[in-house]
Structures are given as structure tokens and as C-alpha cells.
Amino acid sequence: MRRLIALALTVSLPACSMAPDYARPAQPVPVSWPAGDAYLVQSEASVPTVSYRDIFRDARLQALVEQALVNNRDLRIAVANLAAARAQVRVQRAEQLPEVGVTAGVDRIRSDGDSRTNYVLSGGITAFELDLFGRLANATQAERQRALGSEAAARTVRLALVSDIATAWANYATDLELLRIAESTAANARRSVELTRARLRGGIAPRTDVRQAEQVLATAEGDVAASKTALAQDVNLLQLLVGAPIDAASLPASLDEVVGSIATLPAGTSSEVLLRRPDVLEAEYELRATNADIGVARAELFPTISLTAILGLASGALDGLFESGAFSRTLGASGRYSIFSGGGARANVEVSEARRDAALGRYELAIQTAFREVGDALARQGTIAEELRAATAGVTAAADNATLAEARYRGGIDGFLDSLVAQRSLYTAQRIEAATRLGLVRNRVALYRALGGDQASAPATGN
């Protein structure tokens, strides 16, 4: 029996493959990133191998990410899908091996008052397909590539999770900043309301001044309430991403802390780094799988040959089952070939080739999409610093103008309208600066995500 199994395995080894030779397609994008006035000059160094800890350096944010890698439900689903895909490879691989079985039975036959008992014990290779044309090997290869695609998909989920947590963490800090701006503006507006009411009582200011000051106060108080709602929603989102309640101590205290704790991942100059992105890898593994599917479809155009080898014992008495005369052996081979199937087998080859072409299109589209995302992030990175400088200068100028306008109003030099306009301008400038600083953080997160994030990270972790 051991010799038969060894022979069957040996016969299966030299099977030829009907799948086309695979060669990685050329990148459908330029070899370097876009250049122009909107872009910073990139260094020649390639993108280094980094961890999210190298980019997101605040210990509180790192703790949230680590907690999410254990508890997040989307990541758990991705890990479970990966486990199923790996198991499916083993299922398909098993079809390349001989099926060995054992049968034991007792038959009691009664006829015309006569009875007879037969004892049977047999075992051997009950089914084994000779993979002469590589059908089973290519089917296994297709499942293996799809399992690798599932691993890349799990990495995509992990990358999105880390990026979303960093973005939500920064959004919380921004909403906290907007809340402070609104509260400060509301406090100033209350003082303006008190001042204009006093001047109204003294007969030196019209009622319109009071109403205009009350409008500024109402706007600021409405923004205070909206900011409190946004903060609560930010916490809810973080808890969903983390997959568990979060400690208030893990939240940032100011937007300055966030800006200073998130580094920029250098993009280098070569667009070949896109081939390391998990979604691009997933698309390439699917392309490889569909290429192997062509080999499966082509092999089905040829005959299927199967072998059997059964060794058995049969006797009319249990104590005689192991005597020499009870031994029997059977060797068999069978072939199957469809003479006419209405062209279905050849059409199946065409189907597999069309699916390969579609997978090629998806692979090239994934690269082009990745190139566009990196280009957009680099364009934003090249201009955001100047935009932030301008926003900060605008706040400084607006604050000084508001101080002067209020002093001139108090001194009776200018009307209240000038002071009102100055207050509104300052409020708007402060909100623009906060939004621009959030844009700076989001750009760094977007570049981290667009370049594929943790290049040396495990595909996924989780329980």
C-alpha cells in the first residue's frame, strides 16, 4: 500500500500547467510623482519601513490604536475572512492527494432455509486523479493567490482603521479648539451687549447697536452648543473605532498637541512604492488567481484519468478472515472525456480569460487611483504650510483690529458697526486658522494612508 501511494504521488509531480506565464504588468502611471508649483521637492530616498508609531507619536493615540487592533469588529471580520481563505487553500490542496479509505462490513444472506455470513475488510486508494494537465495544481494556485489577496485586504482594513482613529482624534482636538473660540467670542459679545445697553440707557447709542451685539452673542452661543455636540459625537466615533469605551485621559487637550505629535511620511521620488500598497497588492493577487483559473479551464478540455487500488480480505468465518486465501487486490484506472458539450468547455476558457482581463483592469485602476491619491496629498502638503502661515497672520491682524475698533467705539470716535464687523472678522479668522491646522494634520494622515502605511506591519491582528 505504501508503494502504491508513493507511486501515485510520483505520477502527479510532473504535471504540466496550462496556465499562461504570469508577468507583472507595467505600471500605468509615471515613474515619479507630479511636479510643479504646488509640490514640494521630494528627496531621492525611497519610502522607509515605518510603523504607525513612527508617524503618530503621542502615547495616548498609540494606546487607542493598540486597543483598536484587538477590539475593532471590522478587523475581526477581516481576520476571520483571512483564516477562511487560508483553510480553503488546504481544502483545494487536498484534492491533489490520493483519497485513502477503509471499509469493513458483515453480510448475512438467507435463502431457502440456508444462511451464509460474509465478513469483508478492505482498504486502499479509493480515488486519485492524475493531474496530467495541471487542473488541480492551478486550482490550488488560484486559491493560494486569493488567500494572499485576503491577507492584503486585512492589511487595508488595518491601515484604514489606524488612519481613521488618528483623524477622529484630531477632529476632537479641533472641535475642542472651536468650542474655546466660541466661548471666548460669546464672553466678549456679552460685554458688548452690556456696554451697548449702558450707552442706550445713557442716550448716546441707538437700539440698533444693542440688537447687533445680541446677534453676535446669539451666533456664538449657538456655536458653543454645536461644538459640544460635535465633541460628544467625536467620542462616540472613537469608541466605535476602538471597539470599547475609551478613557477621557486618552483624548488630546489642544490642537497644538495633535499638530506637534503627528509626523510626515516622506514620499521619496519613485511611484513604484505604490506596488506595496495593500489594495494594489490585493488587486495583483486577484490577477494572479484569475491567470491560474485559465489553466484550470484549459485543462478541462483534456481527458480526466483516475486510479484506484484496493486491498481486501473476505471470508465466510470471522476467524478465517486473516488466512491467506481470504486476500484479494484490485487495481483500476478510468478515463473521462466529454466528446460533445455544446462548446461549454471552450466557452469556459473564454470566461476565465475575460475575468483575467477584468482583473488586469482593476489592478491598473488600483495603481492609477493610488497615484492620484498620493499626488493629491503631495499637492496639499506643498501648500498647506503657506496657507497656515496666512491664516495665522490673519488672526493676528483681526485681533489687533478688533481691539482698536472696540477702543474707538468706547471713545465715541467710530460707530458700533465698525466694532461689530471687527468682532465677526476675528471670529471667522480664528475658525479658519483652526480648520487649516486640522487640514495640516489630515494631510499627514492622508499621505500615510496613500503610501500604504506600515510597510513592515503584520497583515492584521485581533482576537
| Edge-to-edge strand list for the sheet holding 304-315 | 99-111, 114-130, 304-315, 327-336
Which stretch of DSSP H or E encloses residue 308? strand 304-315
Q: Which domains does the chain have, with CATH numbers?
A: 25-96+132-302+346-450 (1.20.1600.10)
- Top pLDDT among 44 and 55 is at 55
Least confident of 168-182, 352-366, 386-400, 404-418: 404-418
In whole angstroms, give the CA distance from residue 228 to residue 257: 20
The pLDDT value recorded for residue 95 is: 84
Residue 209, C-alpha cell as written in the block: 447697536
Counting Cβ atoms within 10 Å, is residue 108 exposed (0-12), middle (13-18) or buried (19+)? Answer: exposed
Among 367, 179, 173, smallest CA distance to 275 is for 367
Quote the longest CA-to-CA distance of the chain: 132
Pick from 109-123, 320-334, 382-396 the range whose average pLDDT is largest.
382-396
Instruction: Please identify which residue in the block is written with the cell numbers 510532473.
Output: 14
How many whole angstroms from its chain centre is CA 239? 19
Phi and psi angles of residue 58, each rounded to the nearest 5 degrees, phi first: -75, 130
Give the pLDDT confidence score for residue 454 in this predicted structure: 74
DSSP-assigned states of every residue in 176-205: HHHHHHHHHHHHHHHHHHHHHHHHHHTTSS
Mean pLDDT value of segment 338-366: 88
pLDDT of residue 323: 61
Q: pLDDT digit string (tens) for 232-251?
A: 999 999 999 999 999 999 99
Which cell numbers in the block locate residue 42?
Answer: 521630494
pLDDT at 427 over 80: yes
**Is residue 34 very low, low, confident or very high in pLDDT (cuts 50, 70, 90)?**
confident
pLDDT interval class at 317 (50, 70, 90): low
Determine the pLDDT at residue 417: 80
pLDDT tens-place string over residues 80-124: 999 999 999 988 888 888 878 887 777 777 766 677 777 777 777
- The pTM (predicted TM-score) of the whole model is 0.83
User: Which run of H or of E encompasses 313?
Assistant: strand 304-315
H or E stretch at 398: helix 344-410
The mean pLDDT of the chain is 84
Amino acid at position 275, single letter? L
Burial 32-41 (b: 16+ CB within 10 A, else e): ebbeeeebbe
